Structure 1
Amino acid sequence: MNISPAEYRQRRAQLMEKIGQGTAIFQSAPTAVMHNDVEYVFRQDSDFFYLTGFNEPEAVAVLAPHHPEHQFILFVQPKDPEKETWTGYRYGVEGAKERFGADVAYSIAELEEQLPQYLEKADRIYYHLGRDHHFNEVVLNHWQRLMANYPKKGIAPRALENPHPLIHPLRQIKSQEELALLRQACRISAEAHNRAQLFTQVGHYEYQIQAEIEHTFRLQGALGPAYPSIVATGANACILHYINNDAQIKENDLILIDAGCSYGYYNGDITRTFPVSGKFTPEQKALYEIVLEAQRQAIEAVQVGNPYNQIHDTAVRVLVEGLKELGLLVGDSEEIIKEEKYKPFYMHRTGHWLGLDVHDAGAYKVNEETWLSLQPGQVLTVEPGLYIAPDIKPAEGQPEVPEQWRGIGIRIEDDVLVTASGPEVLTADVPKAVADLEARKN
């Protein structure tokens, strides 16, 4: 399963239509050092990969629709048999041109010499000033030199703009090829969660569950985890990004697993919470059913034309009403929501875009006042939760939390595709109904 060369060409064409007489520059991701001279596995910058499919470091892609000969230009590492013996095969200059459809390719060593010809007739430069300060200086120096000649030549890129507002809306709407990769990532992630539910038992350690999950990822052809897997038993589930995964599972614990795989650079993201012993306690069940209903109604809000924030607002209303019924919140619901008195129990948003990045590219708001309307082809997570930490401090005017509720953390998360006919849950293969979760031990 791969994105076709035709789709990469289409993506570049769409972006070049937006940049018009400008020139866009994209840099590959840096290599990252794990310790001393050992590097992490390379992961390409998502914008760079979205436009090129090229998966090597030390590369630059340039889009110059105004240039008479070269509209798509790649600068890459040249072939080097000695280095390739140590670090792996490179496409090199010729391979980059032939395999990835560049109009021309150069060695990365030629960047400073060749780049000006693609900038001098542009009306603006699209480049994100990132963390590579040296490359920032390269782009800025070229821009300044061209602007210095503007009075004499009458042409120069008169602005430097971030390309994100142009490319990220393209990334937000997934093609059929992208959806195939996302569905596969979700399928593998779901299989790993189902395996984890069957494997989990009292006495196991969280890292053993993590090992079963990540073993399934690789066994099924995924690149590995899309993010550090969260396996949180008991009160650990009240830590949103808990990744220690070193506690032993105890009787009557709930276990929260938030894990997803990366497949072809596209990501799954699933959370399930279930009772280790096969039976919810009354308090666990009461809170779980509130979260489950909040998620059900929030998923129903994933409809074309709805504002993005309707998903979160729907979940919050259900959570607040449920907590009031249990006596954990008191007062007028609208006031509780307006004054955010629910936040000691629920402190995060109800989801995010999903795609090449786990928290995928794309704005959530059109402007300060207006939320983006949902469109077919968008993929997002829906993940309400309730977290009652052992040391929870209620909002002002709210009651103290009785001991029996403390130390319970619950989150339920699915990946949802926006379609013209309603929400499509891509991760529905993982059970979440109370009866199904309790039946897994029978």
Structure 2
Amino acid sequence: MFAKETYIQRREKLRKAVGSGIILLLGNDESPMNYADNPFRFRQDSTFLYFLGIDHPFIAGVLDCDTGEDWIFGDDLTVEDFVWMGPQPTIAEQAVRVGVSKTAPINILDELLGKSANKGRTIHFLPPYRAENKVKLFEWLGILPAEQQEASSVELINAVVNQRNYKTAEEVEEIRKAVNITVDMHTLAMRMAKPGITEAQIAAAVNEVAEAPGGRISFPIIATINGQTLHNHYHGNTLKEGDMFLLDAGAETIMGYGGDLSSTVPVSGKFTSQQRDIYNICLDSHNRSIEMLKPGIPFKEVYFESARVIVNGLKDMGLMKGNTEDALTNGAHALFFPCGLGHMMGLDIHDMENLGEVYVGYGGEPKSTQFGLKSLRLGRKLEPGFVLTIEPGIY
């Protein structure tokens, strides 16, 4: 957790940006695997973490833009809970650590929202992505789940994006920690990738690297000899001579900031001639993209240059032919490069993707619907404070 002044300043800035009404920030609940007392490992909503900092389930926050008051609503655990979990801090004790002095049970939030709605006050909320929060919005505000995306506050979305897109020095340091752990995950996988070992063994080992410092993986591990499938979470194969092994994995710090790296290595210890040629084309595309990064350049231009390098390289190998610019215009490169070049990174590995890529990665401008280009999550001009990935690929 950062200093409480950090969270106070973030909330003040958010209230000013939204202007009026109340801001409802929903935390996440625990999610049962197969029954209520056997939940998946809890992960707090990232925007809730950013503004309220509390990594605890079953709570919600309200920021009043007109009075300047902040509230956290949630029910304290009982003695029966302590029998199983040990003593736990109260909601009030957790709230004071982030500079919030007003707390109340969750049923009071229902009353507050009802009174606010009756007075005609605007209730700003973000698009929900968890089923339990869709149910809460229906119960509290009477908005059907199918209508909640449309009813969510564009003013709040833009205000959140315009804060979270610009990483502070302390955030960059957290991301650096995550990336350093992620590098350790990948170097271990490279050492392990030999004939006879299984994908599952490598996945288990790199997961341990992520969890050993107290964190976790930032997204489900992709550890596969079938890297042509972009999000391949099957780990049942055994590595053999001639295979290429791909690891796409990252670590998340205790505070929730993530890393994201992808690497491909030859299981035999050396690339074949064709494997080396493909690898070097991808590496050239990666390096050329990094060379272009600077404030003011549209990331879409960087994407097309990365694709240009790939097309020209594949033409040299005889795998593509024709005019390079025509291929880029018509999306032919996407037959080999179907994913985007990169994305914003922070508390989410695809930062704020739940708020909409049009807002996060395009500044409100529409995205392309063309195959390949439509998967480019970031197209806007780069600015100081942005943290993003560069990850071209040939599939």
TM range (shorter): 0.7 to 0.9
- Structure label with greater radius of gyration: 1
Distance 1:183 1:108 in 2: 37
Distance 1:49 1:122 in 2: 29
Distance 2:335 2:44 in 1: 37
Cα shift at 1:128: 2.4
**Structure 2 unpaired stretches of 5+:** 144-150, 353-358, 368-378
* Contact 1:76 1:96 survives alignment (8 Å): no
Match of 1:365 among 362, 366, 380: 362
Which secondary structure does the structure 2 equivalent of 1:35 belong to? coil
Aligned CA distance change for structure 1 residues 141 and 207 (closer, same or farther; 3 Å): closer
Cα shift at 1:254: 1.4
1:223 pairs with 2:215: yes
* Bigger strand share: 1
Residue identity matched to 2:392: P
1:35 pairs with 2:34: yes
Cα shift at 1:84: 3.2
Cα shift at 1:79: 3.5
Cα shift at 1:90: 4.0
1:92 pairs with 2:102: no
Which secondary structure does the structure 2 equivalent of 1:343 belong to? helix
Distance 1:181 1:160 in 2: 30
Distance 1:35 1:204 in 2: 31
Alignment of 1:201-350 (within 5 A): 201-219=194-212, 221-233=213-225, 236-263=226-253, 264-350=255-341
Residue number in structure 1 paired with 2:355: none
Residue number in structure 1 paired with 2:373: none
Return the TM-score normalized by structure 1. 0.78
Q: More deviation in 343-352 or 76-85?
A: 76-85
Alignment of 1:401-416 (within 5 A): none
1:125-165 deviation line (CA, Å, top 9, x unaligned): 211252433322244249xxxxxxxxxxxxxxxx9624222
Residue number in structure 1 paired with 2:10: 11
Residue identity matched to 1:251: E
* Contact 1:185 1:222 survives alignment (8 Å): no
Residue number in structure 2 paired with 1:406: none
1:352-388 deviation line (CA, Å, top 9, x unaligned): 111100100252213436952111111111111111x
* Contact 1:75 1:107 survives alignment (8 Å): yes
* Contact 1:23 1:64 survives alignment (8 Å): yes
* Contact 1:60 1:76 survives alignment (8 Å): yes
Cα shift at 1:78: 1.7
Which secondary structure does the structure 2 equivalent of 1:34 belong to? coil
Residue identity matched to 2:238: Q
Q: More deviation in 36-45 or 93-102?
A: 93-102
* Contact 2:114 2:140 survives alignment (8 Å): no
1:45 pairs with 2:45: yes
Cα shift at 1:16: 0.8
Which secondary structure does the structure 1 equivalent of 2:71 belong to? strand
Which secondary structure does the structure 1 equivalent of 2:334 belong to? coil
Aligned CA distance change for structure 1 residues 282 and 93 (closer, same or farther; 3 Å): closer
Distance 1:203 1:270 in 2: 25
Aligned CA distance change for structure 1 residues 121 and 180 (closer, same or farther; 3 Å): farther
1:239-296 deviation line (CA, Å, top 9, x unaligned): 1001111211111211111111110200000111111222110100010100000000
Alignment of 1:161-200 (within 5 A): 161-162=153-154, 163-200=156-193
Residue identity matched to 2:215: L
Distance 1:94 1:136 in 2: 24
Q: More deviation in 49-58 or 33-42?
A: 33-42
Alignment of 1:429-440 (within 5 A): none
Residue number in structure 2 paired with 1:386: 394
1:387-437 deviation line (CA, Å, top 9, x unaligned): 1xxxxxxxxxxxxxxxxxxxxxxxxxxxxxxxxxxxxxxxxxxxxxxxxxx
**Structure 1 unpaired stretches of 5+:** 143-158, 388-442
Residue number in structure 1 paired with 2:374: none
Cα shift at 1:91: 3.0
* Contact 1:76 1:92 survives alignment (8 Å): no
1:52-106 deviation line (CA, Å, top 9, x unaligned): 0111111110010312xx6111101224121233356543243134223213100
Return the TM-score normalized by structure 2. 0.87
Aligned CA distance change for structure 1 residues 223 and 160 (closer, same or farther; 3 Å): closer
What is the number of equivalent residue pairs in this alignment? 365
Cα shift at 1:33: 1.6
